[in-house]
């Protein structure tokens, strides 16, 4: 059974609970609340405690004789240390001879003889009462244990609604649970499990892990990093919502091509809304000794590209806006029209939830055949988001970023490694 208690503080609540339900009651939840009403507007909040208990479990009561003895002889025991008193019992009278034929006289019952107790004896013999703090810690441990058990149960079954038309083998079931735990969408995880089962029926020599790993690689697609052609300039456009790391990713790629691949690199900034973005690009352009163009108008993009016609590769940064912004979509379309980029990278942050991912992908769908660049992969331990995004967008994955270090924390997407991480705990 569950019962709710309200008290001015936790100590009073604990006293009430123990007094009424005993020490074996379990606290399920506690919180501070304010009573409703104008009279309680300026009153301090009270404590509300939810308790679980067994209603029919008998409580251990003190025997009546023991309680009576405690009340009768308590004062004597307390004063025994500093007093020469003897126990308040009359000595048993000597036996009286009874004449023949006479009825025996009434003889009082022998009173129990008690040895005077000392205070030290009482304190040594009495069991130590548990402190309120230790009792609370014990209850917290029980609640934590129950919470861990529930989380473990939900971890196994929260994402999986078993399809009654499929009975997965233990190997496929394990992979299904692992993929779901890595936040692969429920429908997609079940689809992979069904397809794996179908393939295993005809391919007896294949293993469940091998088959599902291959299917995930197909859904993510082959990695599509930047490839340059000799004597031909390549223009790369970066798009995506605010805060996903477009500018940082652009700088990483620009640094890699300029330093490691010894290419002539140029940068054009169309994000004139943020001073920080312009200063960041200016700083790196000075360090790398590469040209930087600023485009306040659409015509400026063409002029900047004309000035950078000798560069092997040019990166164009754009402003980030909230998904669904109509004006932003029109601006991106105009930049694409003027710049004619060969590659477009849509930047999506790895910790983004799936509903937000669909909103971003739908917003930039008009950008055409873009590629995906997953940022901030170091900020989440789940890899299912990569599969969810690639599957929903139906676009190839180009790069991933795993930190702020320039240019180190960026790499071409390794499809096989990502698939293995999705199927591993």
pLDDT at 270: 87
Dig out the tokens for 86 from the structure: 């003897």
Q: Are residues 343 and 268 in the same domain?
A: yes
Q: Which of these, 328, 319, 180, 181, lies nearest to 250 by C-alpha position?
A: 319
Closest CA to 373 of 351, 403, 396, 354: 396
Whether 334 and 290 map to the same domain: the answer is yes
> Do 290 and 336 belong together in one domain?
yes
258 DSSP assignment: I
The per-residue b/e assignment along 329-361, b for 16 or more CB within 10 angstroms, e otherwise, is bebbeebbebbebbbbbbbbbbebebeebeebb
Please check whether residues 246 and 201 belong to one and the same domain: no
CA distance 392 to 396: 11
Q: What is the pTM of this model?
A: 0.59
Same domain, 214 and 276: no
**What does the pLDDT read at residue 81?**
43
On whether residue 108 sits in a domain, the answer given is: no
| 183 shares its domain with 303 | no
Would residue 151 count as lying in a domain? no
Q: Does residue 211 lie within any of the structural domains?
A: yes
CATH of the domain at 399: 3.40.50.300
Look at residue 201 in the predicted model and tell me its pLDDT.
86
Q: Please give the pLDDT value at position 206.
A: 84
The distance from CA 409 to its chain's CA centroid, rounded to whole angstroms, is 25
- Partnered with residue 7 across adjacent β-strands are 47
- Domain assignment present for residue 113? The answer is no
pLDDT at 80: 42
Domain extent at residue 394: 234-422
- Tokens for 23? 């020490």
Residues of the chain where predicted confidence (pLDDT) is lower than 70? 35-43, 56-134, 151-166, 272-277, 324, 425
Helix H or strand E encompassing 14: helix 10-21
Q: Do 203 and 264 belong to one domain?
A: no
Q: Which of 197, 220, 243 is the last residue of a domain?
A: 220
Q: What whole-number distance in Å separates Cα of residue 68 and Cα of residue 363? A: 82
Task: Return the residue matching tokens 């009546």.
Answer: 64
Q: Write the pLDDT tens digit of every residue in 30-61.
A: 888 776 655 555 667 888 888 887 776 555 44
User: Tokens 């000595």 sit at which residue?
Assistant: 91
H or E stretch covering 313: strand 313-317
The answer to whether the beta carbons of residues 318 and 312 sit under 8 Å apart is no
Residues 355 and 389: their CA atoms lie apart, in Å, by 10
Cross-sheet strand order for the sheet of 410-412: 292-294, 265-269, 313-317, 234-239, 343-349, 371-375, 397-401, 410-412
Which pLDDT score, from 0 to 100, does residue 152 have?
60
What's the Rg (C-alpha) of the chain?
A: 39
* 210 domain residue, yes or no: yes
Whole-number pLDDT of residue 159: 44
Residue with tokens 């008690």: 114
Q: Are residues 260 and 214 in the same domain?
A: no
- Kindly state whether residue 255 falls inside one of the protein's structural domains: yes
Instruction: Count how many domains the chain has.
Output: 3
Total Cβ atoms within 10 A of residue 211: 21
pLDDT of residue 114: 47
Looking at the structure, tell me whether residues 204 and 240 fall in a common domain.
Answer: no
Please name the helix (run of DSSP H) or strand (run of DSSP E) that holds residue 371, with its range, or none: strand 371-375
Q: Are 183 and 312 part of one and the same domain?
A: no
Q: Residue 220: which of 361, 371, 348 has the closest Cα? A: 371
304 and 354 housed in the same domain: yes
Residue 20 within any structural domain of the chain:
yes
Quick check: is 139 in a domain?
no
The per-residue b/e assignment along 249-261, b for 16 or more CB within 10 angstroms, e otherwise, is: bbbbbbbbbbeee
Contact in structure between 364 and 240 (CB atoms under 8 Å)? yes
| Helix/strand/coil for 379 | helix
Q: Let me know whether 212 and 266 are in one domain.
A: no
């Amino acid at each position: 059974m569950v019962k709710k208690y309200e008290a001015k503080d936790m100590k009073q609540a604990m006293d009430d609970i123990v007094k009424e339900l005993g020490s074996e009651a379990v606290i399920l939840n506690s919180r501070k609340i304010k009573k409703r009403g104008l009279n309680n507007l300026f009153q301090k909040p009270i404590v509300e405690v939810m308790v679980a208990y067994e209603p029919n479990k008998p409580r251990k009561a003190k025997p009546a004789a023991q309680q009576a003895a405690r009340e009768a002889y308590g004062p004597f025991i307390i004063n025994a240390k500093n007093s020469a008193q003897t126990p308040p019992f009359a000595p048993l009278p000597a036996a009286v001879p009874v004449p023949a034929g006479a009825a025996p006289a009434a003889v009082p019952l022998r009173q129990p003889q008690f040895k005077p107790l000392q205070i030290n004896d009482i304190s040594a013999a009495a069991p130590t009462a548990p402190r309120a703090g230790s009792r609370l810690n014990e209850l917290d441990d029980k609640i934590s244990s129950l919470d861990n058990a529930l989380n473990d149960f939900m971890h196994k079954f929260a994402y999986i609604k078993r399809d009654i038309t499929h009975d997965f083998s233990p190997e496929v079931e394990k992979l299904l649970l692992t993929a779901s735990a890595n936040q692969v969408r429920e429908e997609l995880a079940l689809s992979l499990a069904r397809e794996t089962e179908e393939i295993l029926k005809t391919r007896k020599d294949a293993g469940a892990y091998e088959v599902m790993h291959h299917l995930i690689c197909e859904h993510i697609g082959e990695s599509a990093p930047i490839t340059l052609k000799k004597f031909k300039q390549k223009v790369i456009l970066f798009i995506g919502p605010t805060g996903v790391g477009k500018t940082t990713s652009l700088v990483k790629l620009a640094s890699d091509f300029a330093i490691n691949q010894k290419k002539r690199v140029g940068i054009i900034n169309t994000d004139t809304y943020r001073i920080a973005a312009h200063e960041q690009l200016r700083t790196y352009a000075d360090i790398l000794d590469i040209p930087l163009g600023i485009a306040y108008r659409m015509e400026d993009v063409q002029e900047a590209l004309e000035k950078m016609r000798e560069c092997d590769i040019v990166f164009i940064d754009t402003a980030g806006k909230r998904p669904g912004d109509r004006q932003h979509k029109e601006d991106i379309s105009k930049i694409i029209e003027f710049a004619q980029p060969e590659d477009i990278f849509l930047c999506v942050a790895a910790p983004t939830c799936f509903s937000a991912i669909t909103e971003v992908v739908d917003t930039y769908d008009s950008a055409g055949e873009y590629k995906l660049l997953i940022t901030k992969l170091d900020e989440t331990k789940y890899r299912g988001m990569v599969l969810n995004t690639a599957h929903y967008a139906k676009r190839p994955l180009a790069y991933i970023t795993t930190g702020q270090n320039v240019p180190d924390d960026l790499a071409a997407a390794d499809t096989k490694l990502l698939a293995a991480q999705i199927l591993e705990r």
